[in-house]
Structure 1
Amino acid sequence: MGFALALPVLTVPTAFAARPELDLASLPPPASHAVDFRRDIEPIFSAHCLDCHGPDRQRGGFRLDRRADALRGGDFHAPDIIPGDSAASPLIHLVGGLIPDEFMPVRGDPLTPEQIGLLRAWIDQGAPWPDDGSASQPDPTETHWAFQPVVRPAVPDAPTASDPGWGHHAIDRFIADRLAREGLHPAAPADRHTLIRRLSFDLIGLPPSPEEVEAFVQDPDPDAYDRLVERLLASPRFGERWARHWLDVVRFAETHGFEMNNPRPNAWHYRDYVIRAFNSDLPYDQFILEQIAGDALGVEEATGFLVAGPWDQVKSPDEVLTRNQRADELHDILNTTGTAFLGLTVGCARCHDHKFDPITQLDYFSLKALLAGTEHGERPLAAPGDRTATAQRLEALTAERLDLDRRLEALEPVALVAAADEDVPAIPPRRDPVHTGRNIDRFEPVHARFLRFTILATSGGEPCIDEFEVFTAGPGPVNVARATHGTRVEASGTYPNSAIHRLEHIHDGKYGNDRSWISNEAGRGWLRFQFPRIERIDRVVWSRDRSPKPVYADRLVTRYRLEVSLDGESWTLLATDADRLERGARPDSSLLAADPAESERDRLRQRRAVITTEMAELDRRPMVYAGVFKEPEPTRRFHRGDPMQPRETVDPGVLQFTAFRPDLADIPAERPERERRLALARWIASPDHPLTARVIVNRLWHYHFGEGLVPTPSDFGLNGAPPSHPELLDWLASELLEPTAGAASPWSLKHLHRLMVTSAAYRQSSRATDASPLAADRDAGNRWLWKFPSRRLDAEPLRDAFLSVAGRLDLRMGGPGWSPFEPNDNYVRVYVPKQTFGPDDFRRMVYATVVRQRPDGVFGAFDCPDGGQIAPKRSRSITPLQALNLLNSGFALQTAGFFADRLQRELGDDAEAQVHRAFALAFQRPPDPEELSASLRLIESHGLPLFCRALLNANEFVFVF
């Protein structure tokens, strides 16, 4: 970016080019391919030079935006560019750092060797310039590499004979081509002991057994490695290892976070879904569809992706806080969707247009509209084969119960009322007492334009009404109180500063306490409805909490008056509570017997009870924390991202920048909520989207090689890092979309895994001594992959390896996980790490309950994310606590004891055999004579458990080479 990488004044002495002390040999070599000015050179000038040497400023009289001025040179020397001779060009000397006191650019990052090589090649090729002789500053969003269509590039020619084994694999040709341009050569192949350990930890996250190592090392078949790859890819442990990577990306944990941090007991279903998806090689496009709209595809648990993140479950009467909580909830869902699948920081457009990428604030809220029906919560989970049948049965029962309710309403006794304010005649009440569910007030049909409900007393506190319905008389009754009917409602007052208790909720057609109205007066209040026209009505239905599983019985209206009017001035009393039984009382049996409608009511009630029981049984399925969905209200853009400053209504839609292919999306505003999410998922999963395939293949490369081809795996925008091997990235993306291997299917991730781990680049030695002596100096960061990058094991395979070599690892798959914390039921949870572990705690770490804000007591020190935010790339810290935990923690001591017990049990007291077996289990190789001797002395002086503890703390155990 020009704002950070400006090139200062070039003050080069006249005799500069002739200085004998210049170390020209240290310059990066010129690029070996033809250089295009617009593609290769102009971006370097635009990003690093034109702020100080462009049309607006010419420091030192030097200008680089026009060819004539660039070749003429500045005020203190000339020329800076000598076409055909980059070694003599002062510009190259300056950017190459040959003169430390005049290194360019002074501010910002220096030019990379690759960029210097491009400049050298351009100058050596005559410094060709476009016909107009100008260097423009094009809109970077139009030319950004990640926003271009994925096109399969040509595979480079096979490397020279000096790199045997690198000519058969497309990946290797791309890597070798880059190494050759940098003057480097790959390292020698790794030995088989190293390869099986590396591959096993990489693909399944576990060490190979000594028997597996011996069989592989002794296998003379040249296809032995390929068969090993296939066996590990087919292992059920593969999904367990690679699911953990994806769970990092989507911020998965099993507590809510924030100050309460309560558990999510049924979140584990999503973790198991990811494991199954990777084991079965579910096509990646289908994987995307199911995680965003699995409820529409019969894969209920997959939408756990949407609600895997932290959630502030504490409700507040403060409307500002409540609105911000909801905005933050949807922001987390939207931002994770954008980063996980598209590698775009969409969340940066919440308050304003994105500062770097072509994402507007309007785009942000259009995407938000697609996801606005998503809320945190649980829902029933049916077995895959039962889901359709269960849904159909529930739908039929719901319709039948609704019909029964209508028929029961018609048989409800008519309310008895007296004239004016007189008491109802002193006869025993025959109507049911008020209760939290459906309360019915039926009366003789009457014409009305206005209806008033006056509350005179409650069971305690301010009255609360969930939903208030007014039905027309005659066949096909219609609820004319609904807001969608055009009815307006007024109230005596509303509970202040509450987003869930609002007047508009009284007639929105949605049930439950969180969509209700509360008065602002204790024990009293009134509601007045005005219909758009005169209606003929005969009953009212109202409730305190009509949700499927009501939990609220407070604030119940116990005394009331119901009146109607044609003009809003003169009122007619229709019903009161006076003829209802007291709460808890039962009606007089003689009155029931005298009522001719009672037997039919009783029959309908019994049938309704049977239906309700069956529906409860169907709903008694396992619950899954995978979100609940509702039809959303219209989405409005928030000024500066502030929910208290809503502006215009925004239609649901996708990112509108042309390169993101908005034409692939079909999202009319009137679609049901789940259809909106499904349309979003299909847009993301389209093979024509420029980002989706690139992002996922880069993630796979990152986990196999320790660093992605794009080092910023969740930011492919202009603020992210460019790819080290852009052609290789696009070739891999093309291979994912349209595989050339005959047996591979489109979107197969296992196909990509197979390609990567069978490459010669992957099978290189990790030792610098096995590579070119110049490699470490020219590419200390191993960006060009001249050797395999060794790295420390992640927390999960490290813990699993402890238990595996000790013979205690429990390989049971799936189901609720185990907790590394002591149990507690505090209102505000406190998670205390366990100090001792039993058999239930010896399962793989992928099944450990992930607690936000509280990492694992031992392995949390090894950069294990807690799900508080997305973690596409784990940190690689080195701290004293890591060494202390592996050496002295209760888990380490306990596992070292198990390891010693295993050796003693298998080999008796034969110390030499114990050492050989321990090395084979821990390091996948035999000890050398010096190691054997030192180990025997250690066992003799300090015992077998301490020897085992030492092996478990060795770099060779903790690292993969």
Structure 2
Amino acid sequence: MRDFMMRWLIAAFTLLSLAANTASAEPVDFVRDVRPILQKHCYECHAGDARKSGLRLDVRSEAHKGGELYGAAITAGKPEESPLWTFVGDEAADLVMPPEGPALAAAEVATLRRWIAEGAVWPDGVDEVTLEDPSDHWSFRPVVAPTLPSVQQADWPQNGLDHFILAKLEEKGLSPSGPATRTEWLRRVTFDLIGLPPTPQEVAEFHSDQSADAYERVVERLLASPRYGERWAQHWLDVVRYADTHGFEVNTERPNAWPYRDYVIEALNQDLPYDQFIREQLAGDKLNADAATGFLVTASVLLPGQIGQDDASKRLARQDSLDEIVTNVGTTFLGLTIHCARCHNHKFDPISQRDYYQMQAFVSGVEYADREFTIPMGDMQADQLQRWTEQSREVALEIARHAPLAGANKPRPMVNSYENIDHFAPIRTTKVRFQVKATNKYEPCIDELEVFNTEGRNVALAQHGAKATASGSNTTANRHELRFVNDGRYGNERSWMSSEVGGGWVAVEFSQPETIEAVAWGRDRLGKFADRLAVDYAIEALSETGEWVLLADATDRQPFEAGKNARAPIDVESLSSDDQQQVRQRLAERAALEQKLSQLHQSQVVFAGQFRQPDDIRVLSRGNPEMPKEQVAPAVPEVLGDTALAQDAAEDSRRIALADWIASKQNPLTARVMVNRIWQGHFGMGLVETANDFGRNGVAPTHPELLDWLSAQFMESGWSTKQMHRLIVLSAAYRQASDFNEAAAQLDADDRLLWRFPPQRLMGEVIRDSILAINEKINLEMGGPGFSLFDKRGGLSGYQPIESFNEGGLRRMIYSHRVRRERDAVFGAFDCPDFGQSTSRRRESTTSIQALNLFNSRFVIEQAAALADRLQTETSETPAQVSAAYDRVLLREPSPQELSEATAFVDQYGLASFCRVLLNSNEFLFIR
């Protein structure tokens, strides 16, 4: 304080002296008097690229504009209203400048004040620079499809994209490489599209297929494979930071994240148009794609118990969670670092702090939480459902036929909550009624009422035209509704509940008269609930004369006893020995089928967006929730469009508007960003190297016209991702060999101009999957919770890797349980991400750990032994075994020298050791 007072007194004395000589003193000259002060004290932080708080003082227009926090830095004639002076000369100012280093001398303070008071004259032409317009950036301009460039080597291009590649090569005096061999291309495209190696049989078939469309037919086969979605989902999940734990220090398990992963796989397999893919991930709750909204919450988040209980801590945690959503939206779909404007205007891109918070307002009603949803089925699951349902009905009818007829004096099982089968003499009817007379508790509940005709068909199904009616229903939307009683789906979440405690009836009317002989029903055939069970009931059929005829009732069963609720629908012990064996076998088959069916069509919990009334969003000074400024409404960055909503807009309308804007063909970034990601997936690097940053701090495209041509093709194809794959992998550029050309490398060492196909190492997941596929050990079961790579699925540090896997652990690695910050012990060394940050492109390192893992890990040792066992069952001759190993792993015959050396190696060290060598070879690990 003493130093400041001394400075103030000196400044005051100087001002008085200056005032006394005002009449004779000449005006302050900016170049002579002011600029040296700014250079000495201010330019370090406020000139050139150094623009703290967005303030730049070395350019006239920028200096007058001011920074982000206080508006104009200079108000001519008013020093007290000019932060440039108040921060150095006013004791009561918010800030004291400079924050570090020597303070301005009193005479310097006085000079600045006098210059401003005199009108802040900054002469024309002095530090008057025409700055680049940050909005005039290539990625912000509309996508315009260019015409194909002319080329000299006109017979080389296979399709339009080749014209752009060849034109750039010819411009630099380069030529493309010759074509890859058929085996090289097949291996390359198979790994690229499905992430698994081709089989020796597929190689042989491709070599023998000399038709004009042989290459096209390979591509169509691969794109139609369910393995395609698994391969390309891996790329997408890297970008969006998908994991099965919450992250941060506690890193607890996120057990219900996997439905989003399955959604991505299924969407890619279906070739869901990319614009719809975007809409579903932002607003899938309104588009029958609930699991898709898992995209909104893939990032790490603090759980309620990990947040301080004071209001300030809660506000900060909320801001952090919203920031993660904006980050995901910006980097994934737009290739922009919008999140960099959280605390200040973006340093490089024309995105203001206000733009950032307006984007935040679109998602301010999103919470990170588990919520229930019904899993929509894709074509593959629908086929499985139909097949398994038919098998289940056949088994159920066979079991029902072993049940004694109603009224027979034979022991019957007690009423149970799982399943009950009532068998009776065939009767022709159009309607069956289930009358409840008493329950063990509350209102009766039935998950499915099945009525079998004598041909074994469930004629009660709604899909066969049957209609359900009831005395009254206690309806809970999407859980207890009358329509669920005959929808073919089991479980409490798809059941009918009566509105009457202990009573009520439900009936099913068929589309035509049927001869029926059995009814099956249960409270909850998924086995979760045993209350609300009808313990006294009657089953009736409507006769041809319009009267209700009793078919079976509770007197045909033993009385219900709590705690003795048997699962078997009939009393197996009362059957003959031959029938017992057959029924037990059928019951086991039925149980296995029920488990499969329950995984396909039940309500599921997903960790995804949960939606509520949006928060009021304000611009936060320096990103601090304790320093709120003006409130903002949802709006997109001004440089990219004019989509905006009112401050009171409904929560779902916000996300829908955001999705529609991103998915619009007028958005200049959306198609470019996705096309670049697809290109990168095939060539190892995108046309834009910085796949997550298309802003001014990113790398410019190597082939900008090609990027726009591809983007236009993408949109014109109906946003078809598979069509983009076809275009790329059937091009001459993709078909090139990988042979090194020293002369070309002198001009283009990184092969950015694609004078050859760039060799790439397999991703860690692909290496593991391929080893299993070569052994025919891979488990191709799709979907569902992931298998564990560690001895724990979440929590604090101390994860011990699982080294040996059973059948579930031999699934494709995309179905592993992803733990943030914990890479797989073996294949994680191959640059797998830790799922904490968005990984737009995996780097390809070469380390000794990679070789040691592949040679010494228990997994690889076991798989090498399995491969050796398989080869030994096929032939007993060592040379033949060696040749077969080369054929399976490297898809070729060994040379005579290789065969001789490998045979000697096997004789000395064993076939399993030789298989380990092949799996550790560069020829196996690299795509060429």
Please give the TM-score of this superposition, normalised by the length of structure 2.
0.62
Matched residues in 1 for 2:254 and 2:645: separation? 33
1:369 aligns with 2:351: no
1:178-233, Cα deviation, whole Å (9 max, x unpaired): 00010000001000111111110000000000000011122222321111111111
Cα distance, 1:614 vs. partner?
A: 13
Rounded to whole Å, the distance in 2 between the matches of 1:140 and 1:798 is 47
Q: Which structure 2 residues correspond to residues 116-265 of structure 1 after superposition, within 5 A?
A: 137-160=130-153, 164-166=155-157, 168-265=158-255
| Aligned 1:755-794 pairs, distance under 5 A | 755-769=727-741, 773-794=742-763
Question: Contact 1:187 / 1:765 at 8 angstroms: preserved in 2?
Answer: yes
Q: Distance in 1 between matches of 2:843 and 2:355?
A: 32
Structure 2 unpaired stretches of 5+: 1-47, 50-57, 60-127, 379-498, 505-522, 524-528, 534-597
CA 1:178/1:137 → structure 2, altered by over 3 Å: closer, same or farther? farther
Amino acid at match of 1:859: F
CA distance in 2, matches of 1:823, 1:336: 28
Deviation at 1:828, TM superposition (A): 3.8
1:191-590 matches, within 5 Å, as: 191-313=181-303, 314-384=306-376
* Matched residue type, 1:873: R
Deviation at 1:321, TM superposition (A): 2.5
Q: Distance in 1 between matches of 2:709 and 2:206?
A: 31
Instruction: Indicate yes or no: 2:643 matched with 1:656.
Output: no
Name the SS of the counterpart of 1:628 in structure 2.
strand
Q: Can you list the C-alpha shifts for 1:371-427, whole angstroms capped at 9, x where unaligned?
A: 0111111110114499xxxxxxxxxxxxxxxxxxxxxxxxxxxxxxxxxxxxxxxxx
Return the alpha-carbon distance in structure 1 between the equivalents of residues 809 and 500 of structure 2: 54
Q: Indicate whether 1:945 and 2:917 are aligned.
A: no
Per-residue CA distance 1:886-934 (angstroms, 9 max, x = gap): 1111111111111111111222x12122112111111111111111111
Determine what percentage of the aligned residue pairs are the same residue. 48
Alignment check: 8 A CA contact 2:633 2:644 kept: no
CA distance in 2, matches of 1:191, 1:240: 27
CA contact (8 A) 1:824 1:830 kept: no
The residue identity in structure 2 corresponding to 1:627 is: G
> In 2, distance between residues paired with 1:890 and 1:235?
31
Q: Which amino acid aligns with 1:333?
A: I
Is it true that 1:873 corresponds to 2:873 in the alignment?
A: no
Instruction: Summarize the Cα distance change of 1:615–1:194 in structure 2 as closer, same or farther, 3 Å threshold.
Output: farther
Asked if residue 750 in structure 1 is aligned to residue 722 in structure 2, the reply is yes
How far, CA to CA, are the matches of 2:866 and 2:352 in structure 1? 58
Check 1:614–1:747 CA distance in 2 against 1; reply closer, same or farther (3 A cut). farther
Distance 1:777 1:174 in 2: 21
Deviation at 1:281, TM superposition (A): 0.5
TM-fit CA distance, 1:675:
1.3
CA contact (8 A) 2:793 2:819 kept: no
Q: Aligned letter for 2:619?
A: R
8 A contact 1:262–1:829 mirrored in 2: no
Counterpart position of 2:68: none
On the 8 A contact 1:251/1:871 being kept in 2, the answer is yes
Give the direction of change, closer, same or farther, for the CA distance of 1:942–1:348 in structure 2 (3 Å limit): same
SS in 1 for 2:254: coil
Matching residue of 1:625:
607
Give the corresponding residue for 2:700: 722
Question: What SS class does the counterpart of residue 134 from structure 2 fall into?
Answer: helix
Deviation at 1:165, TM superposition (A): 2.7
Aligned counterpart for 1:893 among listed residues 861, 870, 874: 861
Tell me if structure 1 keeps the 8 A contact 2:375–2:602. Answer: no
Say if 2:624 is the partner of 1:642.
yes
Whether contact under 8 Å (1:807, 1:902) holds in the other structure is no
Letter matched to residue 140 of structure 1: D
- What's the TM-score, normalizing by structure 1? 0.60
1:650 Cα deviation (Å)?
1.1
Distance 1:384 1:794, change over 3 A: closer
Deviation at 1:316, TM superposition (A): 2.1
- Deviation for aligned residue 1:262: 1.1
Contact in 2 for aligned 1:380/1:620 (Cα 8 Å):
no
Alpha-carbon offset, residue 678 of structure 1: 0.8
Is 1:884 equivalent to 2:852 in the alignment? Answer: yes
Deviations 1:251-309 (A, max 9, x none): 00000011111111111100010001111100000000000110111110000001111
CA distance in 1, matches of 2:532, 2:311: 34
Displacement of 1:620: 8.7
- Mark the runs of 5 or more structure 1 residues left unpaired by the alignment: 1-46, 49-55, 58-134, 387-601, 739-744
Q: Take 1:147 and 1:921, find their aligned partners in 2: how far apart are those partners?
A: 49
**Aligned mates of 2:637, 2:624 — CA distance in 1:** 21
**Relative to 1, partners in 2 of residues 1:620 and 1:230: Cα closer, same or farther, differing over 3 Å?**
closer
| Distance change in 2, residues 1:325/1:245 (3 Å) | same
The aligned counterpart of 2:816 is 848
What CA distance in whole angstroms lies between the structure 1 residues aligned with 2:649 and 2:626?
27
Does residue 900 of structure 2 align to residue 933 of structure 1?
A: yes
Within 1, Cα distance between the matches of 2:290 and 2:603?
12
- Counterpart position of 2:122: none
| Counterpart check, 1:954 vs 2:921 | yes
* TM-aligned CA distance change 1:603 to 1:954, over 3 Å: closer
Residues 720 and 901 (structure 1), Cα distance of their counterparts in 2 relative to 1, 3 Å cut:
same
Structure 2 SS opposite 1:376: strand
- The one-letter amino acid of 1:634's match is D
Counterparts of 1:758 and 1:669, CA distance in 2 = 49
Counterpart residue type for residue 308 of structure 1: T
**Structure 1 residue matching 2:606: 3-state secondary structure:** strand
Give the letter for the 1:878 counterpart: T
1:548-583, Cα deviation, whole Å (9 max, x unpaired): xxxxxxxxxxxxxxxxxxxxxxxxxxxxxxxxxxxx
Q: What are the residue-to-residue correspondences of 1:651-690 with 2, within 5 Å? A: 651-657=633-639, 660-662=640-642, 665=643, 667-690=645-668
Cα gap change, 1:335/1:230 in structure 2, threshold over 3 Å: closer, same or farther? same
Q: Which runs of 4+ in 1 moved over 6 A?
A: 602-607, 613-620
1:379 match: secondary structure: strand
Which residue number corresponds to residue 30 of structure 2?
Answer: none
Instruction: Classify the secondary structure of the residue corresponding to 2:231.
Output: helix
The aligned counterpart of 1:707 is 685
- Label 1:385 to 1:833 Cα distance change in 2 as closer, same or farther (>3 A): closer
Aligned partners of 1:935 and 1:603: how far apart in 2?
Answer: 79
Q: Distance in 2 between matches of 1:362 and 1:279?
A: 39
Alpha-carbon contact 1:187-1:768 (below 8 Å) kept: no
- Aligned partners of 1:292 and 1:322: how far apart in 2? 25
* 2:818 pairs with 1:861: no
Secondary structure of residue in 2 paired with 1:172: helix
Letter in 1 for 2:861: L
Query: 1:607-618 counterparts in 2 under 5 A?
Result: none
Q: Which residue type is aligned with residue 755 of structure 1?
A: L
For 1:615 and 1:288, locate their aligned partners in 2 and report how far apart those are by CA, in whole Å: 43
| Deviation for aligned residue 1:136 | 7.8
C-alpha displacement of 1:667: 2.5
How many Å apart are 1:137 and its aligned residue?
4.2
